[in-house]
């Protein structure tokens, strides 16, 4: 199927664009990312990374890289779902806790704090974007990525590009 490479490229570009949206919300709209937001950013980076790797690898290895991208999308969806659960139960917090401290000590948070440093609270309510919260949008995009990538892995002959 000739749509495999364009699909992988589209998913990678959308994931990167969503990271850009996150940076816009952080710096222009002054919405501080919480630890769960940062974990979702890592998942978007992983999806984009594995999709780009799948494009660069020989055809025989495409399936493995696309499977890793799908697994990253599923992981991101789980994190976004947990974020929604935390928002629905304000007594539970992921604010200043061991998760935030641990995330902020990772090499990437020190190397690129603008992208990977958590300094917000998960229960902070921001204005919805087109009627949905940020974790709801993340969950939708991760679900779309997971379904498309899983279908590429399961149904498409990735060996024939």
The encoded tokens of residue 40 equal 């979702």
Mean pLDDT of 52-67: 87
The confidence score (pLDDT) of residue 161 equals 45
3-state secondary structure of 129: strand
3-state secondary structure of 69: helix
Question: Is the pLDDT reported for residue 95 higher than 60?
Answer: no
- Residue 8: how many CB atoms within 10 A of its CB? 26
DSSP state of 60: G
Mean pLDDT of 96-113: 71
The confidence score (pLDDT) of residue 158 equals 46
Domains and CATH numbers, the chain: 4-154 (1.20.1550.10)
**Residue 41 near residue 22 (C-beta atoms within 8 A):** yes
The confidence score (pLDDT) of residue 69 equals 96
Mean pLDDT of 62-86: 93
The confidence score (pLDDT) of residue 96 equals 55
- pLDDT mean across residues, the chain: 85
* Per-residue pLDDT band at 62 (split at 50, 70, 90): confident
Provide the phi-psi class of 160: left if phi over 0, else alpha when psi is between -120 and 50, else beta: beta
User: What is the Cβ-side half-sphere exposure of residue 90, based on CA atoms within 13 angstroms?
Assistant: 3
**Residue 103 near residue 38 (C-beta atoms within 8 A):** yes
The confidence score (pLDDT) of residue 19 equals 95
The confidence score (pLDDT) of residue 60 equals 72
Q: List Cβ neighbours of 27 (8 Å cut-off, separation of 6 or more).
A: 114
Locus of tokens 């998760």: 99
Locus of tokens 């995330």: 103
């Amino acid at each position: 199927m000739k749509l495999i490479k364009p699909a992988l490229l589209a998913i990678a570009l959308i994931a990167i664009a969503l990271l850009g949206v996150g940076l816009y919300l952080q710096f222009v709209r002054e919405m501080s990312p919480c630890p769960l937001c940062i974990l979702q950013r890592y998942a978007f980076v992983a999806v984009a990374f594995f999709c780009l790797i799948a494009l660069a690898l020989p055809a025989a290895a495409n399936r493995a890289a696309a499977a890793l991208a799908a697994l990253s999308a599923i992981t991101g969806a789980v994190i976004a779902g947990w974020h929604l659960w935390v928002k629905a139960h304000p007594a539970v917090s992921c604010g200043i806790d061991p998760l935030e401290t641990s995330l902020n000590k990772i090499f990437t948070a020190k190397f690129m704090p603008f992208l990977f440093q958590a300094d917000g609270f998960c229960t902070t309510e921001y204005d919805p974007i087109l009627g949905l919260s940020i974790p709801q949008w993340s969950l939708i995009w991760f679900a779309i990525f997971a379904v498309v990538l899983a279908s590429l892995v399961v149904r498409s002959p990735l060996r024939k590009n």
